[in-house]
């Protein structure tokens, strides 16, 4: 296990940091507002945590950051911050699937039986979620399907929407309540846990990645936004943006 890892999680409206020492979480802080607070809060949160422990960036062994999917704004800020620290102090960068971090929230908060299935769901606006299904093997999660952006069609069946999930899966994420509402008439017997992913939940996968030296190229790493960022439709009350015949 690594001696000291800084973890950054910014894939949702929640902004969080955690510090791990020899596989244990020794500091964690999370802030969640109705709007993104990442740009103004992330660096002060990192500085406060490091100061509280008497750490400096040079004493870090690695930085772990959420790799997406998730909010374009949040992922961009988290990634640029992590890469800046790694580049300045020549330390490794670890990237962890944001949905995997979400799944590990359950492993950190309750005892899971081997074979337990967890469907991680992250809000992606309207009736769409980012999702991936994992299975707990007793010590870690194994992905049993791919990360994808899914429109939850209420006319579809649960088997069509989540084909890898079993009858007693646990749905966790900031879109758990939305998923529960949209699947209400599908006869599922899943348990739903509404929660933001947090940097503290990256403790196990960050430690494993460090031990196995699964590092990213600091210069070229970019998060997996999964779908292109879509800006709002530009306002044009006079129709001046419309093309006119030549």
Which tens digits make up the pLDDT trace of 186-208? Answer: 999 999 999 999 999 999 999 99
- pLDDT, one tens digit per residue, over 87-127 is 999 999 999 999 999 999 999 888 899 999 999 999 998 89
- pLDDT, one tens digit per residue, over 69-86 is 998 999 999 999 999 999
Provide the whole-model pTM: 0.88
Q: Which has more pLDDT, 32 or 224?
A: 224
Give the whole-angstrom CA distance, residue 120 versus residue 105: 10
Does the pLDDT of residue 232 top 90, yes or no? no
What pLDDT is attached to residue 227?
65
Tokens of 134: 């994992």
What pLDDT is attached to residue 79?
97
Do the domains at 4-98+198-211 and 99-194 have one common CATH topology? yes
99-194 is a CATH 3.40.190.10 domain: no
Q: How many residues does the chain have?
A: 246
What pLDDT is attached to residue 126?
87
CB within 8 Å of 87: residues ≥ 6 apart: 218, 219
Q: 191-210 b/e with 16+ CB inside 10 Å = b?
A: ebbeebbbbbbbbbbbbbbb
The average pLDDT across 40-45 equals 93
What pLDDT is attached to residue 53?
97
Dihedral angle at the C-alpha atoms of 105, 206, 146, 172, nearest 10 degrees? 10
Whether omega before 69 lies within 30 degrees of 0, making that bond cis, reads yes
Domains of the chain: which residue ranges? 4-98+198-211, 99-194
Q: Which fold has domain 4-98+198-211?
A: Nucleotidyltransferase; domain 5 (3.30.420)
């Amino acid at each position: 296990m690594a001696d000291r890892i800084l973890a950054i999680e910014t894939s949702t409206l929640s902004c969080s940091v955690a510090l791990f020492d020899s596989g244990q979480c020794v500091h964690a802080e999370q802030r969640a507002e109705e709007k993104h607070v990442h740009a103004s809060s992330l660096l002060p949160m990192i500085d406060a945590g490091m100061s509280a422990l008497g750490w400096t960036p040079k004493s870090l062994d690695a930085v772990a950051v959420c790799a997406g999917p998730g909010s374009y704004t949040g992922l961009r800020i988290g990634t640029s911050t992590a890469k800046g620290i790694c580049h300045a102090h020549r330390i490794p960068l670890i990237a962890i699937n944001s949905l995997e971090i979400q799944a590990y929230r359950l492993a950190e908060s309750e005892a899971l039986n081997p074979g337990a299935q967890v469907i991680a769901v992250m809000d992606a606006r309207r009736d769409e979620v980012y999702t991936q299904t994992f299975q707990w093997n007793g010590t870690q999660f194994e992905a049993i399907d791919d990360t994808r952006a899914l429109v939850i069609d209420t006319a579809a069946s649960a088997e069509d929407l989540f084909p890898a999930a079993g009858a007693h899966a646990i749905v966790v994420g900031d879109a758990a309540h939305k998923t529960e509402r949209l699947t209400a008439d599908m006869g599922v017997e899943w348990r739903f846990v509404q929660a933001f992913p947090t940097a503290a939940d990256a403790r196990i996968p960050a430690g494993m990645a460090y031990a196995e030296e699964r590092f990213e190229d600091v210069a070229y790493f970019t998060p997996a936004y999964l779908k292109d960022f879509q800006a709002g439709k530009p306002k044009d009350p006079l129709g001046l943006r419309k093309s006119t015949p030549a």
